[in-house]
């Protein structure tokens, strides 16, 4: 028996990212426009980086609060009050290593080995991956692609619930489809969760990346304080901070002590000087977000127009997030297509197969980029599509 055979199966068999496979293949191609990963092209704005640099220069290099420094938790409460229109207490927030640690801790609180957790698919793969590593069975419920956009049939969610189901992960606006739940759908999911005593893990990280002129609907708009909802969030997308690995989790304050312990026994906290940058992002970054969302909307419109004009592409115009999830007439194998697009069009897209059930036959591109590059990439893709 070799060493790898002795690794716990849940860890050994964790799926390899289907995005990385294409990115590794095309990463160094000269002139390639990379639209495969879920991030924009801008570095973190200076007002954020310099706040972190000041913290570092001031010697903030020691162990710090497990839950996050009080000033950052207070800034989170202010930010939520501004955007969600109600009062929040700093005790509701825990600072994490990116959205990903928030998801891992939410899973640790809500589900255990042998349990099932539902999620809406196609989906960003990391929730299902993290659930699997924890011995939890991730169960996809397929969204429907309709003439009015992607849609969630709550009857289908109800049908997927078994006695082992303990949680449902709801990502709205969604990566990769852009599906954005309306208030009624959120209400129906909440009722279902209440009835079946499920936790909701709410991933609303793209709530402000919504193109209707206002943020997307949130469970915060409709919930009672005692509802079993855990909100996972991140600094990554709103403030161009993907590489910082800073996020947060919001829950009822009675859970804070538990989450602090989970931080203690995993990462033992987030670097204090980086938390200074996060405070600047929250307190001074609203205009930056508005400019990013405006640019993303223009980019979305360019890519939808150019690809739509080929007459050979099917997609729903995404009302939120910054991805286009599309299929191409005649395309048989999304993975092979993504590799071919690297070679023939010098554009990096991710195969839909990287996004769980229901992703077969689709490609995903991230349009959160300089508009001239989005335009150029769209025309290159259109040429590739027309040649199929
Ligand atoms: C839907 C969704 N949730 C969470 C995350 C995780 O964010 P982070 O980079 O902060 O771990 C991502 C990142 O792509 C995402 O798309």
Confidence band, pLDDT 50/70/90 cuts, at residue 224: very high
Which pLDDT does position 339 carry in this prediction?
A: 96
In order of start, what are the domains of the chain with their CATH numbers?
Answer: 4-44+287-386 (3.90.1150.10), 62-284 (3.40.640.10)
Q: Which residues of 295-305 are buried (b: 16+ CB within 10 A; e: fewer)?
A: bbbebbebbbe
Which pLDDT does position 213 carry in this prediction?
A: 86
Which pLDDT does position 182 carry in this prediction?
A: 97
Tokens of 287: 């205009």
Rg over alpha carbons for the chain, rounded to the nearest Å, is 21
248: CB partners within 8 A, 6+ apart: 68, 76, 93, 94, 95, 96, 102, 233, 234, 235
Tokens of 341: 């697009």
Secondary structure letter of residue 203 according to DSSP: E
pLDDT digits (tens, 9 = 90+) for 236-250: 999 999 999 999 999
Whole-number Å distance between alpha carbons of 351 and 20? 10
Nearest CA to ligand 1 atom 4: 99
Residue 324, pLDDT > 90, answer yes
Residue 201, pLDDT > 90, answer yes
Residue 338, pLDDT > 90, answer yes
pLDDT digits (tens, 9 = 90+) for 49-89: 999 999 999 999 999 999 999 999 999 999 999 999 999 99
CB half-sphere exposure, 265, CA atoms < 13 A? 8
Length of the chain in terms of residues written: 388
274-to-40, 52, 125 alpha-carbon distances in Å: 20, 5, 27
Computed over every residue of the chain, the mean pLDDT equals 97
Q: Is the CB of 238 under 6 A from ligand 1?
A: no
Three-state DSSP class for residue 339: helix
Confidence band, pLDDT 50/70/90 cuts, at residue 18: confident
Q: Is the CB of 171 under 6 A from ligand 1?
A: yes
Which pLDDT does position 374 carry in this prediction?
A: 98
Which pLDDT does position 287 carry in this prediction?
A: 97
Q: Nearest to residue 195, comparing CAs of 151, 227, 152? A: 227
Distance 85 CA to ligand 1 centre (A): 24
Which pLDDT does position 372 carry in this prediction?
A: 98
Residue 1, pLDDT > 90, answer no
Sign of CA pseudo-dihedral 162, 166, 171, 174: negative
The CA-based angle 46-214-99, given to 5 degrees, is: 55
- Which residues pair with residue 255 across a beta bridge? none
pLDDT digits (tens, 9 = 90+) for 136-194: 999 999 999 999 999 999 999 999 999 999 999 999 999 999 999 999 999 999 999 99
Residue 17, pLDDT > 90, answer no
Q: Nearest to residue 250, comparing CAs of 183, 203, 195, 181? A: 203
Distance 207 CA to ligand 1 centre (A): 12
Q: Determine the atom of ligand 1 nearest the C-alpha atom of 246.
A: 10
Q: Is the CB of 236 under 6 A from ligand 1?
A: yes
Ligand 1 pocket: which of 126, 245, 248, 320 to mutate (most atoms within 8 A of CB): 126
Distance 180 CA to ligand 1 centre (A): 16
Which pLDDT does position 145 carry in this prediction?
A: 97
Q: Is the CB of 234 under 6 A from ligand 1?
A: yes
Across the beta sheet with 165-171, the strand order is: 93-96, 247-250, 229-234, 199-203, 165-171, 116-121, 137-142
Residue 203, pLDDT > 90, answer yes
Q: Is the CB of 99 under 6 A from ligand 1?
A: yes
Residue 212, pLDDT > 90, answer no
Distance 99 CA to ligand 1 centre (A): 5
The CA-based angle 127-189-222, given to 5 degrees, is: 105
């Amino acid at each position: 028996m070799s060493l790898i055979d002795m690794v716990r199966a849940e860890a050994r068999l964790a799926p390899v990212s289907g995005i990385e496979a294409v990115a590794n293949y095309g990463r160094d191609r000269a002139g390639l426009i990379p639209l495969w990963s879920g991030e924009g092209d801008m570095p973190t704005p200076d007002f954020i980086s310099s706040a972190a640099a000041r913290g570092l220069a001031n010697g903030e290099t020691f162990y710090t609060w497990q839950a996050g420094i009080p000033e950052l938790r207070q800034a989170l409460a202010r930010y939520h009050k501004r955007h969600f229109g109600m009062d929040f207490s700093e005790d509701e927030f825990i600072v994490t290593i990116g959205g990903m640690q928030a998801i891992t801790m939410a899973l640790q609180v809500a589900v255990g080995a042998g349990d099932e957790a539902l999620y809406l698919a196609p989906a960003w793969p990391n929730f299902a991956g993290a659930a699997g590593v924890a011995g939890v069975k991730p169960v996809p419920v397929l969204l429907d692609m309709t003439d009015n956009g992607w849609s969630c049939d709550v009857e289908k969610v109800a049908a997927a619930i078994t006695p082992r189901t303990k949680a449902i992960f709801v990502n709205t606006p969604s990566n990769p489809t852009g599906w954005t739940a309306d208030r009624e759908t959120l209400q129906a999911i909440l009722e279902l969760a209440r009835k079946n005593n499920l936790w909701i893990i709410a991933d609303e990280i793209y709530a402000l990346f919504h193109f209707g002129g206002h943020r997307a609907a949130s469970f915060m708009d409709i919930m009672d304080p005692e509802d079993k909802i855990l909100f996972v969030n991140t600094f990554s997308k709103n403030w161009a901070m993907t590489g910082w690995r800073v996020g947060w989790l919001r829950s009822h304050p009675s859970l804070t002590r538990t989450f602090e312990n989970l931080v203690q026994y995993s990462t033992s906290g987030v670097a204090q000087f980086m938390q200074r940058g996060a405070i600047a992002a929250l307190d001074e970054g609203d205009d930056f977000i508005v400019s990013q969302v405006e640019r993303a909307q223009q980019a979305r419109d360019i890519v939808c127009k150019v690809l739509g004009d080929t007459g050979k592409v099917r997609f729903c115009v995404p009302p939120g997030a910054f991805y286009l999830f599309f299929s191409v007439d005649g395309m048989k194998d999304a993975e092979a297509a993504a590799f071919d697009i690297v070679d023939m069009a010098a554009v990096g897209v991710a195969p839909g197969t990287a996004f769980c059930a229901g992703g077969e036959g689709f490609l995903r591109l991230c349009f959160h980029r300089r508009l001239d590059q989005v335009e150029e990439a769209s025309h290159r893709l259109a040429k590739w599509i027309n040649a199929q």
